[in-house]
Structure 1
Amino acid sequence: MQKLTLLFALFILFSCQNPQNENQSKEETAIESSEENPRLARLQKSIDSLSTLNLERPKDIDILLERARKYVEIPNPAYAKSDVDAAFFLDSTRADVLLLRGEVYYISNRTRTSRDMWERCAALFPESKDCRLRMSELYLAIGDLEAALKHVNEVLNLEPKHANAIFMKGVVVRDLYADTTLAMQYFQRAIDLKDGQYIEALDMMGVMLAHRKDPQAIQYFKNALKINPNRADLYHKIGLSYTYEEDYNAALEAYEKSLQLNRRNDEVYFNIGFIHITLKNYDLAIDNFNKALEIREMGVKALYGRGFAYEMRGDVLNARKDYQSCLGMFPDYKPAQIGLERVNRMIEGEDVDWDNQ
């Protein structure tokens, strides 16, 4: 048991993050797009109607902006850019034009134009909170936390109970000062101001509490699911929280609900595999790691997990093969280095000092 405890500690340590540059599954992206088809069909129908109106009234800025918003949702940033540029040409002093043009350029990774649009908006409309909040988000994204704090404080000076600004300040405080306790106070305040109907803040509170291994995290995730019960990622996070608590039956139930909403998440299969290793169900563990690898062929965590399950099952040759494959992709991956050294000693007939693994 001590052998397993020590190895699982190492396994958990490295299971929380993938090595850098691990490729995202192409299949996952494709499936997500397929699942969006009904929504995309509705958006396209709206765009077609707006295009008909645009032919009749080509200089109607409201039509151009509404169609641009639909293109953002699809997303089709190139077409959205065309519409917001046309709107900006017709009137460069409207707040909604400046806000949306900044947004479109932001998602196109042209943040300098976004900044210019939102700064112009803030200058023309001193009471505009939206312009300043978007500036805060932009500076947070590019890592200028002092500027992000300045702009979010400007919003709060205009409206002290602005829930979105309070949430944003929590994010900035967390990153700028590494003060998670104060950040969580801001998140909770934002939740309270929206009477509990603030899914982003509920999710954030759940994540931060989960990092502290606080069982209250589960309730925050569940409250978020009451707002949107189709969030596979929230069930995944609930499963992780139950795993931390070693309530494996509840964790497996949550993971299965996540998979019902999205069967192409390799991380869920990986976490199920981890539980089955803990329960010594090595065949089930291998099966789930295989499913993870079907989705992400370069999934080094799942490859390591499968190798570990093979090792625990006594199949050291397959274990060695998986550890070697891990190191072929990521030579510095420490768990695989240790695992390969261990199984090589076993193959050579040497005793392994498990307490020092």
Structure 2
Amino acid sequence: MNTQGAHHYIEKGIETWLDHKNYFEAIDLFSRALEFEPHNPDAHLLRGAVYVDVGDLHLALKDYNKALEYNPENIGLFFDKGTVLFYLGEYDKAIRSYEKFLKEEPTDVDALYFKGLSHHFIRENEVAQELINRALALIDKSDDLYPDLCNAKGEILFDLEDYPEAIDYFQKAAEADPTSFIAQYNIGRAFYEMGKLEDALKYIEQALKIEPNEWDVINYQGLILMDMGRREEAIQCFDRIIELHPIYFPAWYNKGVVLKELGRTEEALEHLDQAIKLILDKKPGMTRGMCLREFKKL
């Protein structure tokens, strides 16, 4: 009787989720299935997947953990769990989950990619590069993941300060996916680090043609213009970001720096104070001194 009840609600939940895209009703149906069978791994797995779709990653993780507790042989779920942990920023835990998956599926390109990125984000770039290289060796240029892998390889090389080689991989990503602003942006960043400001500006402007309102890209455009001595144009970039996204503190800080260079000290201090206020609103435990150290990282 209980088994039939759980099965009914699971089937109904799948239909509601996949066919009708009614996510919250599907969550309720899987929850009702779990009232019949609290240890049903499929109901936990499915409810977790719907939580992913609605962006509630913490609840998704709880369900995935329950599903693995009741069915530890579901190797594929270690990939899903790893990806939830990845997007939660818990890279060490994500790595451990991907390792369990890759032990059984060593040639899974997506797992190699996400595990590589996880290592990259915790500054383990040598390990990250090895994983991304393995993934690149397993696919051809027509694969949808190819530009992402090239970007990842480029970002690793960028962090290793091998800018010419990084540019080579960013260009491969741009050729594979001309509609993506990220590769153009990354090429611009690499040229900027090499001091090639004209080249950097060209690629940043190409990125903005694709994605004109991307704050980080506009901010980089402003930084390049600052370094070129084109301060009024730089201010226009930072003003544009402030208009689009007024809580983006780097724009306030960078505009303050330009105003100071122009001798407009009072305005500069107002902008620097606003940048500090925005950081303190986001991280109340910080001090003004800590904020100033944060600015040095920009």
Which bracket does the TM-score occupy, shorter chain normalised? 0.7 to 0.9
Q: 2:158 aligns with which of 207, 210, 214?
A: 210
The one of the two structures with greater contact order (alpha-carbon pairs below 8 A, sep at least 6) is 1
Change (3 A) 1:115 1:270: same
The C-alpha deviation readout for 1:164-218, integer Å capped at 9, x for no partner, is 2323443455567x53212211111112112243243323222222222322222
Change (3 A) 1:118 1:223: farther
> Is 2:64 aligned against 1:132?
no
Equivalence for 2:19: 67
Q: 2: distance between equivalents of 1:334 and 1:138?
A: 33
Q: 2:136 aligns with which of 191, 197, 209?
A: 191
Q: 2:148 aligns with which of 175, 179, 200?
A: 200
Q: 1: distance between equivalents of 2:175 and 2:35?
A: 43
> Is 2:99 aligned against 1:157?
no
Change (3 A) 1:89 1:323: closer
Equivalence for 1:117: 67
Matching residue's letter, 2:184: Y
Change (3 A) 1:172 1:298: closer
The answer (yes or no) to whether the contact 1:64–1:84 under 8 Å persists in 2 is: no
Q: 1:263 aligns with which of 205, 212, 231?
A: 212
Q: Compare 240-249 and 223-232 and name the one that shifted more.
A: 223-232
Q: 1:182 aligns with which of 116, 121, 127?
A: 127
The C-alpha deviation readout for 1:205-254, integer Å capped at 9, x for no partner, is 22222222322222323333344333233332222122112222222222
Matching residue's letter, 1:278: D
Shift of 1:89: 9.0
The answer (yes or no) to whether the contact 1:239–1:254 under 8 Å persists in 2 is: yes
Q: 2: distance between equivalents of 1:316 and 1:157?
A: 59
The C-alpha deviation readout for 1:250-283, integer Å capped at 9, x for no partner, is 2222222222232222222221111111111111
Cα RMSD after superposing both structures: 3.6
Equivalence for 1:44: none
The answer (yes or no) to whether the contact 2:107–2:138 under 8 Å persists in 1 is: yes
Question: In structure 1, the residue corresponding to 2:106 is in which secondary structure?
Answer: coil
Q: Which runs of 5+ in 2 are unaligned?
A: 1-9, 280-287
Shift of 1:130: 2.1
The C-alpha deviation readout for 1:62-86, integer Å capped at 9, x for no partner, is 6445336xx4xxxx75355357668
Paired positions, count? 268
The answer (yes or no) to whether the contact 1:64–1:86 under 8 Å persists in 2 is: no
Question: In structure 1, the residue corresponding to 2:90 is in which secondary structure?
Answer: coil
Q: 1:254 aligns with which of 181, 191, 203?
A: 203
Question: TM-score w.r.t. structure 1 length?
Answer: 0.62
Q: 1: distance between equivalents of 2:41 and 2:264?
A: 68
Question: In structure 2, the residue corresponding to 1:164 is in which secondary structure?
Answer: helix
Equivalence for 1:236: 185
Q: Looking at CA atoms only, which structure, 1 or 2, has the larger radius of gyration? A: 1
Change (3 A) 1:133 1:295: same
The answer (yes or no) to whether the contact 2:185–2:207 under 8 Å persists in 1 is: yes
Equivalent runs, 1:309-348 vs 2, <5 Å: 309-330=258-279, 331-332=288-289, 333-334=291-292
Q: 1: distance between equivalents of 2:46 and 2:32?
A: 12
Matching residue's letter, 1:180: N
Equivalence for 1:297: 246
Change (3 A) 1:103 1:292: same
Q: 2: distance between equivalents of 1:230 and 1:305?
A: 29
Q: 2:51 aligns with which of 105, 127, 150?
A: 105
Shift of 1:337: 9.8
Q: Which runs of 5+ in 1 are unaligned?
A: 1-57, 339-357
Matching residue's letter, 1:143: E
Identity %: 18
The answer (yes or no) to whether the contact 2:205–2:221 under 8 Å persists in 1 is: no
Change (3 A) 1:298 1:154: closer
The answer (yes or no) to whether the contact 2:44–2:63 under 8 Å persists in 1 is: no
Question: TM-score w.r.t. structure 2 length?
Answer: 0.73
Change (3 A) 1:60 1:113: closer
Q: 1: distance between equivalents of 2:49 and 2:105?
A: 22
